[in-house]
C-alpha cells in the first residue's frame, strides 16, 4: 500500500526534475506535427535544426539539475526519488544523460550536412523526429531504479531504432539489416525479460533496492533460479552492446543503416545498455563481495562478474581478429565497436575494493572518449563515402591529397581508436588497464594490450589508404558546414581528453559516488 501511495505522489515540483525528458517528449510531438504540416517541396533541414535545439535544451536542463545537486563549495544534494524510487535523478543518471545528449546532438549536426543529399533516405523529417524518442529511451534506462522502468526505456529505444535502421526502404541491404535487427533485438529483449522474471520470482520485487535485500535469502533458497536470472540478463544485455559471442548482427546492421543511424547504434545504444548493466549488477550481484576481497570463487558475485570478464575478453579477441579481414569501413567500425565493448566491460567486471573504487570513472572517461572518436570517424566516413560512391576502405585512397584537413581529422580518430597518445582513447584504455592491474586481473591486462596491438593493423590500413594509395578519381571532397563542425568538435574533444585527462577524471570522481548515486537503497 505504501508503495502504491508513493507511486501516486508525483507533484508539480517532481515534474520540474523531469524537464530534460519532457523537453524531448514535447519536441518530438511538435516536430512530428510540423513534418506532417509542411508540404513535400519544403526542405526538412528546419526540422533537423529544431531537433538539435531540443536536444541542446534538454542538455541544459540536465546540467542545471546537476549543478543544483552539486553546488560549488557545498555538500552534494540528496538523490531525487520519483515514483516509489523507480525513477531517480542522481549524478550517475545525469552523467549518462549528458553523454547521450551530446552524442545525439553531434549525430544530428553531422546528419544536417549528409541526410539532405541522401536520396536513399526518403523520410528525412521522420529521421530527426525519431531520434528524440530514441534518446528519451536511453535517458529513462539511465535513471531507472526498477526493472519495469528499465524495460520500458529499453523498448522505447529499441523500437525507434528498428524504424531508423529500416528507413532506407529501397536499399536491399537496408531492408535486410532492419529485419535482422528486429529479430535480434526482439530475442535480446525477450532474454532480458526472462531473466528479470526469475529475479522478480525469487525476490518478490522489481525495485533494485528491494531485490538486493531479497537476494541474500534467495541465493541460499533458490540458487539455480538466481543464476538463471543473472546469466540471462547478462546474455541479453551482451546482445544490446554487441559483445562477442552475441555480436553477429552488428556488421550487417551497421552496413545496412544510414551512417548517422549507424553512429547512433554504435554510441548511444551501446552506452544505454552499459548504463543499465552497471546499475542492475552493482545493485544486486555486488552484495556478495567475498570474491573481490580475495575469497574463493563460487559465490554469486564471483561467478557473475567472472562471466562478465569472460564476455569482455571474448569481445576483445573476436572483434579484433575478425576486423583484420574487413574491407568495408562500416563493418570494420562495427567490429571495432565489438572490441571496444570488451574494453568498456572491463571496469564493470573487475568489481570494487577499498583501494579501487573508481571503476565508474574509468568507464565514463573511456565512454566519453569513445563517443567523440566514433562519431568523428563516422562523420568523416559519411563525406568520403558520398564522394566515392561506396563505403569500402578504398574510398579513402588518396584522401590526403584531395582533402588534407579531413585526412588529418581522420588520423586523430584512428589514433584514438587504436589507443595511441596523445588522444582520449589512449588514456581511456590506460586508466582501465591500471584499474584491472590494481585488481590483479593481469590476464585481462595482457589480452587488452595484445588486442590493442593487433588492432593497429586494420586501423593503420585506413592511414595507408589516405597517404600511400592513388585516388580512384574525383576532385576535392565537399564537406557541408554542419558536418565539418561536428568533425572538428570531435577532433578537439579527442585531443583535449588526451592532453588534460586528469582534470576530467578528477571531476568524475568528485561528482560520482557509488553508494550515493548508483545504489538503490
> In DSSP terms, which residues pair with 328 in a beta bridge?
392
Cβ-in-10-Å burial (0-12, 13-18, 19+) of 13 comes to: exposed
Round to whole Å and give the CA distance between 384 and 361: 35
Q: Output the pLDDT for position 516.
A: 59
> In DSSP terms, which residues pair with 518 in a beta bridge?
none
Q: Output the pLDDT for position 167.
A: 87
Helix then strand then coil, % of the chain, to nearest 5:
75, 0, 20
Q: Output the pLDDT for position 468.
A: 84
Run of H or E including 239: helix 223-240
Which cell goes with 301?
Answer: 558475485
Q: Which residues contact 282 (CB under 8 A, 6 or more apart)?
A: 348, 514, 518, 519
The residue behind cell 578504398 is 394
| Cis peptide, bond prior to residue 438, ω within 30 of zero | no
Q: Output the pLDDT for position 124.
A: 78
Give how far Cα 217 sits from Cα of 101, 194, 226, 290, 449, Å: 40, 21, 11, 16, 41
Q: How many CB atoms lie within 10 A of CB 396?
A: 27
Q: Which residues contact 92 (CB under 8 A, 6 or more apart)?
A: 142, 279, 360, 512, 517, 518
Round to whole Å and give the CA distance between 93 and 99: 10
Which cell goes with 130?
Answer: 525519431
Q: Output the pLDDT for position 290.
A: 47
The residue behind cell 535485500 is 213
Round to whole Å and give the CA distance between 162 and 183: 10
Task: Report DSSP letters for 141-198, one per residue.
Answer: HHHB-BHHHHHHHHHHHHHHHHHHHTT-TT-HHHHHHHHHHHHHHHHHHHHHHHHHHH
Q: How many CB atoms lie within 10 A of CB 8?
A: 8
Q: Output the pLDDT for position 317.
A: 96
Q: Which residues contact 372 (CB under 8 A, 6 or more apart)?
A: 106, 416, 424, 489, 490, 493, 494, 497
Residues of the chain with pLDDT under 50: 1-7, 290-297, 354-355
Q: Output the pLDDT for position 517.
A: 61
Which cell goes with 186?
Answer: 526482439
> In DSSP terms, which residues pair with 88 in a beta bridge?
81
Give how far Cα 296 sits from Cα of 301, 355, 356, Å: 11, 19, 19
Round to whole Å and give the CA distance between 101 and 54: 10
Amino acid at each position: 500500500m505504501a508503495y502504491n501511495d508513493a507511486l501516486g505522489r508525483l507533484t508539480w515540483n517532481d515534474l520540474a526534475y523531469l524537464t530534460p525528458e519532457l523537453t524531448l517528449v514535447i519536441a518530438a510531438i511538435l516536430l512530428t506535427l510540423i513534418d506532417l504540416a509542411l508540404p513535400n517541396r519544403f526542405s526538412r533541414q528546419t526540422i533537423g535544426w529544431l531537433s538539435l535545439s531540443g536536444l541542446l535544451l534538454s542538455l541544459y536542463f540536465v546540467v542545471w539539475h546537476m549543478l543544483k545537486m552539486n553546488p560549488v563549495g557545498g555538500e552534494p544534494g540528496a538523490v531525487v526519488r520519483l515514483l516509489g524510487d523507480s525513477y531517480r535523478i542522481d549524478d550517475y543518471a545525469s552523467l549518462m544523460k549528458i553523454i547521450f545528449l551530446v552524442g545525439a546532438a553531434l549525430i544530428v549536426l553531422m546528419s544536417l550536412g549528409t541526410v539532405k543529399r541522401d536520396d536513399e533516405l526518403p523520410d528525412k523529417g521522420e529521421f530527426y523526429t525519431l531520434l528524440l524518442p530514441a534518446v528519451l529511451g536511453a535517458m529513462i534506462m539511465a535513471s531507472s531504479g526498477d526493472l519495469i522502468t528499465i524495460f520500458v526505456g529499453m523498448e522505447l529505444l529499441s523500437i525507434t531504432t528498428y524504424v531508423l535502421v529500416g528507413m532506407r526502404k529501397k536499399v536491399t541491404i537496408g531492408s535486410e539489416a532492419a529485419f535482422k535487427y528486429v529479430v535480434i533485438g526482439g530475442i535480446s529483449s525477450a532474454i532480458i525479460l526472462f531473466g528479470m522474471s526469475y529475479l522478480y520470482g525469487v525476490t518478490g520485487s522489481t525495485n533494485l533496492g528491494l531485490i538486493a535485500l531479497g537476494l541474500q535469502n534467495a541465493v541460499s533458497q533458490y540458487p539455480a533460479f538466481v543464476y538463471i536470472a543473472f546469466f540471462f540478463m547478462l546474455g541479453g544485455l551482451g546482445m544490446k552492446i554487441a559483445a562477442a559471442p552475441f555480436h553477429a548482427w552488428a556488421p550487417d546492421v551497421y552496413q545496412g543503416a544510414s551512417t548517422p543511424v549507424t553512429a547512433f547504434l554504435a554510441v548511444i545504444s551501446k552506452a544505454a545498455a552499459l548504463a543499465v548493466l552497471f546499475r542492475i549488477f552493482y545493485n544486486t550481484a555486488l552484495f556478495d563481495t567475498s570474491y573481490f576481497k580475495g575469497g574463493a570463487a563460487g559465490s554469486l558475485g564471483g561467478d557473475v562478474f567472472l562471466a562478465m570478464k569472460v564476455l569482455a575478453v571474448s569481445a576483445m579477441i573476436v572483434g579484433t581478429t575478425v576486423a583484420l579481414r574487413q574491407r568495408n569501413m562500416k563493418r570494420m567500425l562495427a567490429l571495432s565497436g565489438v572490441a571496444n565493448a570488451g574494453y568498456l566491460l572491463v571496469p564493470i567486471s573487475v568489481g570494487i575494493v577499498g583501494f579501487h573504487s573508481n571503476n565508474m570513472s574509468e568507464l565514463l572517461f573511456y565512454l566519453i572518449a569513445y563517443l567523440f572518436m566514433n562519431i568523428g570517424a563516422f562523420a568523416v566516413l559519411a563525406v568520403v563515402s558520398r564522394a566515392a560512391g561506396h563505403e569500402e576502405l578504398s574510398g579513402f585512397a588518396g584522401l590526403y591529397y584531395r582533402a588534407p584537413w579531413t585526412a588529418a581529422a581522420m588520423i586523430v580518430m584512428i589514433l584514438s581508436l587504436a589507443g595511441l597518445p596523445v588522444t582520449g582513447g589512449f588514456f581511456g584504455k590506460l586508466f582501465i588497464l591500471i584499474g584491472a592491474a590494481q585488481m590483479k586481473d593481469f590476464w585481462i591486462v595482457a589480452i587488452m594490450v595484445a588486442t590493442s596491438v593487433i588492432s593497429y593493423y586494420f586501423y593503420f590500413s585506413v592511414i595507408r589508404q589516405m597517404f600511400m594509395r592513388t585516388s580512384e578519381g574525383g576532385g576535392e571532397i565537399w564537406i557541408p558546414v554542419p558536418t565539418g563542425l561536428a568533425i572538428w568538435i570531435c577532433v578537439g574533444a579527442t585531443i583535449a581528453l588526451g592532453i588534460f585527462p586528469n582534470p576530467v577524471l578528477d571531476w568524475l570522481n568528485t561528482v560520482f559516488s557509488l553508494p550515493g548515486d548508483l545504489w538503490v537503497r
